[in-house]
A and B are shown apart, each in its own frame.
Chain A
Amino acid sequence: DTEVTQTPKHLVMGMTNKKSLKCEQHMGHRAMYWYKQKAKKPPELMFVYSYEKLSINESVPSRFSPECPNSSLLNLHLHALQPEDSALYLCASSQEIRSPLHFGNGTRLTVT
């Protein structure tokens, strides 16, 4: 079992829907991350939060909106997505810079 919990495990949404992905960790880590992974590809960094502030945005379209309500929670709000946004969305956390990322098992998103 992973110490980073992501919900839901699966999500199907239409292009006009608004939905949110949730991520929670209780390891006291102060950095949290969103990655996107397409089939047979490596994870690609989307956002980094450090001490609850957005520190890195890898030029992600505005239809993806991250939020960090507190040090244990990370959300990804989705609106007006496209079918090509279908992917596995992975959340991760790390204790500090230059320390390993701990990943959750992801949310499998399908946009119809």
Chain B
Amino acid sequence: GESVGLHLPTLSVQEGDNSIINCAYSNSASDYFIWYKQESGKGPQFIIDIRSNMDKRQGQRVTVLLNKTVKHLSLQIAATQPGDSAVYFCAENPAGVKAAGNKLTFGGGTRVLVKP
């Protein structure tokens, strides 16, 4: 289940089950969203992205859902494996940024623990 407190929210999931990680984004002008995975001692690793003209996108074992009405993003991981244990961040990029380059803003993160 999920727990929220002074530490990162944590999602404990049984190996083989599906995981769903949720993210509420803040800027209604954001038009590009990315999910990153960060393992201990490493930098964030790109998982999947989605633009605001889509509401669903699938990758290998992962699906991202975007609900612009309620400003909600989710990442679904199918058949979760021990190697999926990590911290997951959603990131949003506001539209209309005139300066070249992304101005990605990261959400707070969720720790996923996969139990064997």
Interface bits B84-116 vs A (CB < 8 Å: 1, else 0): 000001000100010111111111110000000
- Minimum C-beta distance from B108 to chain A (A): 6
Q: How large is the interface on B (under 10, 10 to 19, 20 to 34, 35 or more residues)?
A: 20 to 34
Q: Is residue A86 within 8 Å, beta carbon to beta carbon, of the partner chain?
A: no
One of B43, B49, B103 near A103 (C-beta < 8 A): B43
**CA gap between A37 and B32 in the complex, in Å:** 22
**B interface residue numbers (CB < 8 A to A):** 7-8, 31-32, 34, 36, 41-46, 49, 51, 89, 93, 97, 99-109
Q: Are A31 and B32 in contact (CB under 8 A)?
A: no
A40: B residues at CB distance < 8 A: 7-8, 109
Main secondary structure of the interface of B (DSSP, over half): loop
Instruction: Find out whether the CB atom of A56 lies under 8 angstroms from the CB atom of B109.
Output: no
Query: A100 to chain B: which residues have CB within 8 Å?
Result: 34, 46, 49
Q: Decide: A56 and B101 in contact? CB cutoff 8 A.
A: yes
